[in-house]
């Protein structure tokens, strides 16, 4: 399941013609899975809580078009919108073309400058994943939290939690960290439910 979630954007990108400009900046990591990203299973809950102003946004429930009035961008792999907040953080809300059907399936977050597809928002964007650190994560904090010493020197890693849901389906939640040294460069949070 986790491999399907990680490889799906790459498979779709290779098998389809690009119909528009791809995401830029850190969000290009969404397209970059080459199968070498270390994947660590956890029982720790990885379900995200996302709010924009007073509005709650839910993975696999909220349509991208309901997040903001900004037009939805698209290419052969995904549909997305990008918001840039007052803190200088970019939030790419992504719907995978293969399984997303316009619903939010991934969120890439980075403080990596401004990008032409990112629209400035005055509303506060808040993202949390239980007690899992996001931008304030360090290798040491992740080792203590997940108990996996091997990650101490990795530049990128994916944590996943799989939860059985109704009808034999499995919900896979992921948090992927990308580091520059000890500092988090960006995070991608994902959720896909499949059988």
- Asked if residue 79 lies in contact with residue 100, where contact means CB atoms within 8 angstroms, the answer is yes
What is the rounded CA–CA span in Å between residue 56 and residue 183? 28
Query: Which residue range forms the structural domain that includes residue 142?
Result: 2-194
DSSP code string of 159-189: EEEEEE-GGG-EEEEEEEEEEETTEEEEEEE
Of 101, 102, 103, 57, give the one whose Cα is nearest residue 83.
57
Please give the average per-residue pLDDT across 125-131, as a whole number: 94
pTM for the model stands at 0.87
Tell me the per-residue pLDDT of 165-184, one tens digit each, with 9 for 90 and over.
Answer: 999 999 999 999 999 998 99
Domain count, the chain: 1
Please give the average per-residue pLDDT across 125-151, as a whole number: 92
């Amino acid at each position: 399941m986790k491999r399907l979630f990680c490889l799906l954007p790459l498979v779709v990108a290779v098998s389809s013609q690009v119909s528009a400009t791809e995401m830029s900046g850190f969000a290009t990591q969404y397209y970059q899975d080459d199968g070498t990203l270390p994947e660590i299973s956890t029982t720790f809950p990885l379900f995200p809580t996302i709010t924009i102003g007073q509005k709650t946004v839910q993975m696999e429930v909220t349509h991208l078009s309901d997040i903001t009035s900004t037009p939805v961008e698209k290419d052969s792999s995904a549909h997305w919108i990008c918001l840039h907040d007052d803190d200088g953080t970019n939030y790419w809300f992504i719907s995978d073309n293969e399984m997303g059907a316009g619903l939010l399936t991934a969120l890439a977050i980075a403080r990596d400058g401004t990008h032409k597809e990112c629209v400035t928002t005055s509303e506060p964007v808040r993202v949390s994943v239980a007690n899992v650190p996001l931008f304030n994560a360090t290798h040491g904090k992740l080792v203590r939290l997940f108990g996996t010493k091997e990650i101490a020197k990795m530049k990128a890693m994916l944590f996943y939690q799989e939860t059985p849901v109704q009808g034999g389906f499995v919900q896979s939640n992921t948090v992927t960290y990308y580091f520059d040294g000890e500092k988090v460069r960006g995070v991608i949070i994902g959720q896909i439910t499949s059988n």
